[in-house]
Every structure is written in structure tokens, then in C-alpha cells.
Chains A and B, each alone.
Chain A
């Protein structure tokens, strides 16, 4: 196995062991859960943004997933596993509906439109009292049903099982998106992001690909929202503000272009507010500082750091030798 595969496997093993290690510590488990949810949203956004569709409305898609799932589970008594899936589909449906018009809009306008979209979804959640509970939102959102497999008794009243559920969803999302990235479709998506008109000249159906990746990404983002809703058991529109959308974008930018970028970005930037919890008020300053440091000094993101270090080390020794 290559060095990279071993490293990846090790990381997966660590991720698997962590909730068990933190068993009983509600706070650590909560942080783990939020890391997982944020990472799902970030990885999805990165794949979408590869085609030039830089969205600052992902919170809106999470909201759609969260509310759809919660409403199906509470008011229609749908089993929670199905409800969560339907949350993902609801989000994907929205993406499919607006995807084609959106695909024709250039980056600057696209950002604007997604910002509006996110805000509208939040406003709808705020105003549509009868369905979403308005500003007070929804309560008593049920967790997924407990089950037993041999000696394993999974009961979601215990946070640790939520963590594992989120982890498995995350691994699934990573697997799908990574395979798409490595395949011919990934080449096409990257090509679209680099040169849209050239892509069309060589026969690539740009609109279709943009909409497809938007739908896939938003399906996963909706799933993240569903997970969030059933984990928190309460839901209100404040959780899905423009800031949530901006944070997801910042995770992606800080992490960098590589596939691992959003994972690194989401984990680190979810942990930082917890580490600096004492400075809770000033935490956005830290975020902005990191963001500006990356944008100005390390444009490739944190995952680009090893390469930069190697390059400057190479330059230094060449200088000495010369």
C-alpha cells in the first residue's frame, strides 16, 4: 500500500476510535459531532465549487434537509432513518429545480443569488409558523430508532451512537465524492471550473454537469442538516443564518484545494472556537485572521503547506549549494 493510503487508513481508524475514547464526556462527543456535520457540508461545497459554483447559501440547503426531516418524523411519523434520507432528497430537489437557471449565471452573480437563496429559506422558516414553528421552531425531534445487533445495543439517547452515525455518513460522502473526483467526471468538473467555454467546445455539457454535482453536493448537505436536527432535537431558523453558510465556505478556503482540504479546514476551524472558548466573543477575529493569513500568504490553503515547505527547503539548499 502506498504511504498515502496508509496515512488515510490510520486517520480513519483514529476517527473510529475517538468517540469510544471520549465515551461519557458529553462535551467532547458534541464537538466530534459538530466536526462531522461541518465536514460533510464542507466536502460537499468543495466539490460543487470546483465547477466555479461558489455558493454562500449552503445553510439554506442544510435548513431544507433539517426541516424536511424533522417535519416528516414528527408530523408524519416517518421512521427517522427514512426521514433523514428524505431530508437529503428535499435539499436535492431544490438544487435540481434552481440548478439549471443557476448554471448559466457567472461566479459573481452566482454568489449573490446563493446568498439571497439562503436568506429566503431562513425567512420562510421564520415566517411559515404553521409548518416550521416560526422563530420558536420545532421541538421534540425524535432520534433514530434504537436497534440491536448481537451484543451491540444502539440507542441514540447516548450521543456516542450519533457520532458514529455521523462518521459513517461522512465516510460514505467522502467515498462517493472522492471516486467522482478521481474519475473522468472529476476531470470534466475540474475542466469546467478552469475554462467553461473550452469545455463546451470539446463537447462537455457544462450545464448538466454543474447541475449534477450541485444536486449530489446538496443531497449530502441536506443529510448534514437532517443529522443536525435529529441530534439537537430542537430546531430554529437561527441555526441557518448567512454565517453558517460563510463558515462552510471559510472551511473550504482555509483547508485548500486538495480533496483533504475541506476536511482539514472544517475540523480545525470547528475545534478552534472550542479551544479558545474563553474568548468566545472574540472567536470570529481568530477566524478572520486565519482566513486572511491563508488568502494572502498561503493561497493553496493549509493542505498546501507541506508542498510549500518542501519547495522553500529545496530552494534554500540549492542556494547554499550554488
Chain B
């Protein structure tokens, strides 16, 4: 049922299982804003097909980490390595080209475009024609346009938004806007997907559906780094979790390990939220 989403990913299904390679990692990632340390020597590791959760109280610096990884902010120190290449200092669009895509805490889309137009823009890396190519409508150009259209519709179906393709993005209900954000991030055929609170504001059914989609994303060979406050969802879907508070890591491990960690319980008010 899930359409082939990521033609660029390697297909491992027939091979012997082996431990995930370190596809992506940050080493001692640090960011100071003036005198305030927002992120302090953070080490993250994301292997292929892994879903890693990044959790912590509000203001812990999680979104800052995303901004650092995607190149919107320059780190004060440390490195960000994707498949052996250090991405520090590269511009956001280059990092997207390398294979890192993201969603935003407050869902962003191109407000004047329809959903399918949003996807056409987001599909730029997938196969968008160059600046000059559209001036004369060659068969090659038409082919590229058709490819993007097909790819866009496939991605929309993947997240379940195909019925909304002609709706103006700004008019979508909240949960659909979030899904559109995910679809747009997927349109670039990334290797690593950064999801910033994708489940925020969703009802229980919407959360279940979203988690299915995230699992399906992993099945396509895309690794996920997930910021979320919905603890039950995090525990359900993440392979490993990193807990940060005030920009520093205070715990890491599997969901089981993290649930029982005293530091973590202390950092969060209401240990009851962990009880499954």
C-alpha cells in the first residue's frame, strides 16, 4: 500500500541484518547566544532507519539544535556530520541537498499556494527544472514537470492528503497543515528527517495515523530525529531517546532505560506522565 517513496535510498530488505551505521552524528555541538549557552556539547547519533527521540522541557534548546543542524544558525563549536561530511558552515539549501529535511514547530507552508503547488515547490530538489529551462517548453522540460507532479501526488497519498491537493494551504485544518509539512519535507527525498513536534495539537486518532506514517517513513529507509512532548508516542515509536535540559544531555538510552532514569524524572514535572 505504501508507495515507493524514496528512489534514492538503498533497499536493505533482502540483506542480512547488521548494526546501523552512523549515518548522522553531532559531536560536541555547542551554541552560545551572547553569554547564554543554549546548546552545550551535544552528541547525537542517528543510524540508518533509526527513529531517535529528542525530548526535554520547554526551552531546553531542542529547536535550536534543529536550527543548527539545518544551517539556519551557525554553531559556536562542534561538528555536524552526515555520511562522513561535516556540514557546519554550509547554507541551508546545501544541507537540504545533502539529504536533511525538516518540519517546523509552527507548521510552515507557502500560504498563497495550493497543496499541490506547495509540493511542486518542495519537490525542487527531486527534479525541478532549472531557471532557464522553462522558457522554452522542450519535451525534456515537460518530462521533469510530469515527474514532479507524479512524485508530489505519491507523497501526498503517502501522508493521506491527496484529496486536499487543490486546497489553499493556509485554509487547511491544523493536523493537515502538519501533515503537509511532513509531505513537503519528504518531497526532497531526504536521508534524515527532522520532525519538530509533529503531533502537537492532534487528536488521539490523528496521533495514531501520524505514528503509522512515521513508521512507514522509516520503512522507506529514512532516519528520523523527533522532537516531541507527547511522551506516550515517543515511547512507542523511538528506538532511542536523548533527553536534554538547558541545552545539555541529561540521559540517553532506550525508552525503557530513559523512563526509569531519576534525572529525567526530576527534570520533568509530573513523573506520572511516564507511567504507561
Contacts and interface: CB of A to CB of B under 8 A. Distances in A.
Interface residues of A, number: 27
B144 interface: yes
Nearest to A198: B108
B129 interface: yes
B181 to A, nearest CB: 9
B8 interface: no
Interface in A159-210: 176, 179-180, 182-188, 190-191, 194-195, 197-206, 208-209
A246 interface: no
B242 to A, nearest CB: 22
A72 interface: no
Contact of B101 (A179, A195, A201): A201
B224 interface: no
A195 B128 contact: no
A187 B121 contact: yes
A106 to B, nearest CB: 15
From B93, B97, B132, B136, residue with most partner A Cβ within 10 Å: B93
Summarize A's interface: helix, strand, loop or mixed: helix
Given A187-B117, A202-B101, A203-B125, A176 B135 contact: yes
Given A180-B135, A184-B134, A185-B130, A200 B92 contact: yes
Interface in B85-137: 91-93, 96-97, 101-102, 104, 108-113, 117, 120-122, 124-125, 128-137
B108 A179 contact: no
Contacts of B113: 187, 190-191, 194
Nearest to A179: B135
* B interface bracket (residues with beta carbon within 8 Å of A): 35 or more
Interface in B55-77: 70, 72
A202 B187 contact: yes
Nearest to B169: A194
A190 B111 CA distance: 11
From B70, B108, B122, residue with most partner A Cβ within 10 Å: B122
A180 B97 CA distance: 23
Contacts of A183: 129, 133-135, 141
B72 A191 contact: no
A194 to B, nearest CB: 5
Interface string B141-173: 100110010000000000000000000000000
Contacts of B128: 184, 188
A85 interface: no
Contacts of B52: none
A182 B187 contact: no
Contact of B188 (A184, A190, A202, A206): A202
B184 interface: yes
A184 B187 CA distance: 15
Given A176-B135, A180-B135, A184-B144, A202 B125 contact: yes
B96 A203 contact: yes
B134 A200 contact: no
A202 B121 contact: yes
A298 interface: no
A31 interface: no
Contacts of A204: 93, 121, 124
Contacts of A190: 110, 112-113, 121
A202 B136 contact: no
From B134, B136, B141, B148, residue with most partner A Cβ within 10 Å: B134
Contacts of A176: 135
B108 A195 contact: yes
Given A201-B96, A203-B96, 20 more contacts: A179-B134, A179-B135, A183-B133, A183-B134, A183-B135, A184-B134, A185-B131, A185-B133, A187-B121, A188-B124, A191-B121, A194-B110, A200-B92, A200-B93, A201-B92, A202-B122, A202-B187, A202-B188, A203-B97, A208-B131
9 contacts: A179-B136, A184-B144, A184-B145, A185-B134, A190-B121, A194-B110, A198-B104, A203-B96, A208-B131
Which 5 residue pairs are nearest across A and B when measured between Cβ atoms? A183-B134, A203-B96, A203-B125, A200-B92, A191-B121
